[in-house]
Amino acid sequence: MKNIIITGGAGFIGSHVVREFVKNNPDTTIINLDALTYAGNLENLKDIENEPNYVFEKADITKPEELRRVFEKYNPDAVVHLAAESHVDRSITDPMAFINTNVNGTANLLNLCKEFWTLNPDHTHGRFPDEKRNNLFYHISTDEVYGSLGETGFFLETTSYDPQSPYSASKAASDHLVRAYGNTYGMPFIVSNCSNNYGPNHFPEKLIPLCISNIINEKPLPIYGDGKYTRDWLFVIDHAKAIHQIFKEAKTGETYNIGGFNEWQNIDLVKELIKQMDAKLERPEGYSEKLITFVKDRPGHDKRYAIDATKLNKDLGWKPSVTFEEGLAKTIDWYLENKEWLENVTSGNYQDYYSKQYS
Ligand code: NAD
């Protein structure tokens, strides 16, 4: 493949995915297509911006004419689709933004792929003999499409969808559209659904970077409800490596769950963060625990998510490369070394700069 578009490449996960693809595919042009919303930041890719096989194209997936311009310029062989509105709390206050970007934006991309690619009629539900895989639409999704678990059990690739928030419903709709284009038109596709990511470049509205930022600044650490909500956490670089490996090796028509085999209740996670950060900041043990503040619960809050990533491990041999404690330590170190990044994204400085740069 000569040209691969990665959408949402300026965001948290997308920037790590772009780096992984640029470094491992020197003969392929990696096109980072991103609208640079509040969550997109080209500063995340400073270290690779001059690589000969990397280009950035500012385009909004909700605007078909902007996508068409990029498709005509590069005639892409594959699309790795991460661009999305991604924050559940924002989806509760502004669901339409999520429907526009996550549902309509995905449909716009699929329509252009359908138009630009010669789709193969020789398929069963988007599965093709390997030698006929010329193109690929790889859709990145979330485990939140599966809804909430009780105290036991895991999400499998075969678990029925039961999304509970406007965010997860919009992602579920986009997953369905991708499979429908595979089944109906013979679009070669792969979908992967991942658990919560953490790591460098995470926008500080999400739990871990918010708490890191607030522990540094001795501000309250907001925890929903009783703090017993349980999530599986995966280091973002391990997710990016999984995406690259799936892109290269998985059969079309497949779905993979990606997770860290690493469940934490929010309250325990925040206490682990406090333990590591108080030590690094040379504060007395437990010093920052006074910052923990329980806040009113989010409506429709899912109790527990837990991913079973056995299929990915069995089929492709993938497993996380770091333990949670190691990944968290790397993440904290990154935020402590990049306080300026944190200040600039929190103040909106980068967004102001890029809106002038690309206007
Ligand atoms: P993010 O919010 O950090 O980044 C999203 C990126 O998409 C940003 O760069 C933004 O500028 C871009 N974008 C938004 N709207 C756009 C539009 N209309 N046109 C073009 N670009 C647009 O999100 P993230 O956390 O990196 O998540 C990336 C993907 O991974 C999403 O599809 C999300 O659903 C999925 N996912 C995230 C997690 C997680 O824990 N963060 C877990 C599983 C799956």
**Does the pLDDT of residue 285 top 80, yes or no?**
yes
- In terms of DSSP bridges, do strands 255-258 and 189-194 run parallel, antiparallel, or are they unpaired? parallel
Q: Provide the token pair at 239.
A: 């997710």
* Confidence category of residue 128, pLDDT binned at 50, 70, 90: low
18 Cβ inside 6 Å of ligand 1: no
Place of tokens 């990915």: 312
132 Cα to the center of ligand 1, angstroms: 30
Cβ of residue 82 lying under 6 Å from some atom of ligand 1: yes
| Structure-block tokens of residue 102 | 């996550």
Q: Which of 26, 105, 31, 21 has its CA nearest to residue 62?
A: 105
Indicate the helix (H) or strand (E) that contains 88: helix 88-93
With 60 as the cut, is the pLDDT of residue 131 above it? no
What whole-number distance in Å separates Cα of residue 290 and Cα of residue 215?
A: 10
* Complete DSSP assignment for 187-198: --EEEEEE-EEE
101 in contact with ligand 1, CB cutoff 6 A: yes
Name the 3-class secondary structure at 308: coil
Under the banding of pLDDT at 50, 70 and 90, the label for residue 72 is very high
Q: Which of 31, 37, 63 to mutate to test the pocket of ligand 1 (most atoms within 8 A of CB)?
A: 37
Catalytic residue chosen out of the listed positions 20, 34, 43, 143: 143
Q: Is 13 in the pocket of ligand 1 (CB under 6 A)?
A: yes
Least confident range from 105-109, 119-123, 153-157, 250-254: namely 119-123
Please return the burial class of 24, using the count of CB atoms within 10 Å of its CB with bins 0-12, 13-18 and 19+: middle
pLDDT digits (tens, 9 = 90+) for 235-267: 999 999 999 999 999 999 999 999 998 999 999
What phi and psi, each to the nearest 5 degrees, are found at residue 196?
-65, 130
Report pTM: 0.95
DSSP state of 297: P
**201 Cα–ligand 1 center, Å:** 12
Give the strand pairing for 230-235 and 255-258. unpaired
Biggest alpha carbon distance in the chain?
Answer: 66
Tell me what percent of the residues of the chain surpass a pLDDT of 70: 96
Q: How confident is the model at residue 298 (pLDDT cuts 50, 70, 90)?
A: confident
Predicted local confidence at residue 127, as pLDDT: 67
Strands 230-235 and 263-265: antiparallel
Write the DSSP assignment of 251-264 as a string of letters: PTT-EEEE--S-EE
40 lines ligand 1 (CB under 6 A): yes
Average pLDDT across the chain, whole number: 93
pLDDT digits (tens, 9 = 90+) for 147-177: 999 889 999 999 999 999 999 999 999 999 9
